Amino acid sequence: EAQVTQNPRYLITVTGKKLTVTCSQNMNHEYMSWYRQDPGLGLRQIYYSMNVEVTDKGDVPEGYKVSRKEKRNFPLILESPSPNQTSLYFCASRMKGGLTRQPQHFGDGTRLSIL
């Protein structure tokens, strides 16, 4: 089954303790991205990657890092989490090519709470 898998689905942690949210897709997609969703603000893109070893900042990259060493994986790293990063996070992927040819596939989300 084609899917985007995020782990963990839920995490409560404390300020300053480094954490990584993993994202893996099994569709051989070139494009992957991370979004965060906050009440009243919709989904905002954090980082995206157009291929292996190619990453770029989205609209709200501060406080986050990503890496793309393999095509299928795109982890989101919070080196020193803070309470304002408490949010619902989504990973998405799609194939190379225009948006009209390849809709984005989203994971089921990771709910992070930073105390």
Partner 1 sequence: DAKTTQPTSMDCAEGRAANLPCNHSTISGNEYVYWYRQIHSQGPQYIIHGLKNNETNEMASLIITEDRKSSTLILPHATLRDTAVYYCIVSPDNYGQNFVFGPGTRLSVLP
The residues that touch partner 1, with contacts defined as CB under 8 A, are 4, 31, 33, 35, 40, 42-45, 48, 50, 56, 58-59, 88, 90, 92, 96-101, 103-109, 111
* Least Å from the CB of residue 103 to partner 1: 4
In terms of Cα–Cα distance, which of 85, 91, 111 is closest to 48?
A: 91
92 or 114: CB nearest partner 1: 92
17 or 96: CB nearest partner 1: 96
Burial 17-55 (b: 16+ CB within 10 A, else e): eebebebbbeeebbbbbbbbeeeeeeeebbbbbeeeeeb
